[in-house]
Amino acid sequence: MTEIASIGLDIAKTWFQVHAADRDGMPVLRRKLRRDQMLQFFEDLPACLVGIEACSTSHHWARMIESTGHQVRLIPPQYVKPFVKRSKTDSADAEAICEALKRAGIRYVAIKTREQQASLALHRARDLLVRQRTMLTNMIRGTAAEFGVVVATGVQRVRVLREALQSAEQDVLPNEARDTVQLLFAQFDDLGWKIEILEQRIMAWHRANAVSRRLASIPGIGPMNATLLAATVPDATQFKSGREFAAWIGLVPREHSSGGKQRLGGISKRGNPYMRRLLIVGAHAVLRWTRRGKGMQSAWLLSLIERKPANVVAVAIANKLARIAWAIMARGGVYQSANIAIA
């Protein structure tokens, strides 16, 4: 058989499609494999370059295939799609992945370790439970409002709402509604302690990770942001600059330029929405402290506060935080306050 130089691997739950090509890009092997055949297949092959579309379970298979001596690259799906010919099939996807491997200028996804994926699992679980708690709070507030019991918004006001409902008379809150609300409050309490457990585990991971601790030295980057950044970005040097990293998160203007005329819109919102949201939340905290005369007091930030709306300023701060985070992850060290003054 002709020597295999590159392989495009389309992964799934049970069946996996292999498309192998030689150094000239000519196909030399097309094969469908069962899950239990995967490792043996790659163990029997001479070392080559293997491309996998970055998707669910891709990091697991990348680690497993690398353990057999191959070089593995994870390719973002948007870079694979242009090479899919006509109808979408497993075979066409594998061929497209193999073709994308040969292209220059493609940024690959860094392969995450098991520990990094475990940290991200904590974040995803916490985010899910927080959203469920918000939904539950809205349900309780909506039910109470139907009977004329209204309090201020916010999770911290749930205790006040509970006391108001418990003290409500029978003619205000019927027993059926009271029992229903009590069930919802029990679920609310259950979610609360589960979220607390997850946050404790995230804090433990943060204390054990040197990169996360260094990131937490940045104002506006707490343990939640620090652990998320450290786990999501295994190798920050894959980005050429802090601006490129901020663009990857989606914190730069969307551009639609033509004919030599530049047109910039709102932020692109590409990349990880959860990371972008946490950075903007941290930026709002920085903004509040700056307005109180504390925290960051750079000329750049004070000038921006005078000229722009609060949300625009928060996004600009989030962009700056992302750039500083990249510098710390890529170059080492801790946060130096002079960095924020760079416009």
Q: What is the pLDDT of residues 103-155, one digit of tens each?
A: 988 889 999 999 999 999 999 999 999 999 999 999 999 999 999 888 888 88
User: What's the CA gap between 272 and 256, in Å, rounded?
Assistant: 21
Determine the pLDDT at residue 168. Answer: 80
Q: In the predicted model, what is the mean pLDDT of residues 169-190?
A: 89
- Band (pLDDT 50/70/90 cuts) for residue 294 is confident
Average pLDDT of the chain is 91
What is the pLDDT averaged over residues 305-318? 93
Tokens of 267: 């932020």
Question: Looking at per-residue confidence, does 339 or 277 come out higher?
Answer: 277
Residue that wins the pLDDT comparison between 259 and 189: 189
* Residues paired with 71 in a beta bridge: 49
- Strand pairing partners for 168? none
Q: Comparing 49-53, 110-114, 300-304, which segment has the lowest mean pLDDT?
A: 300-304
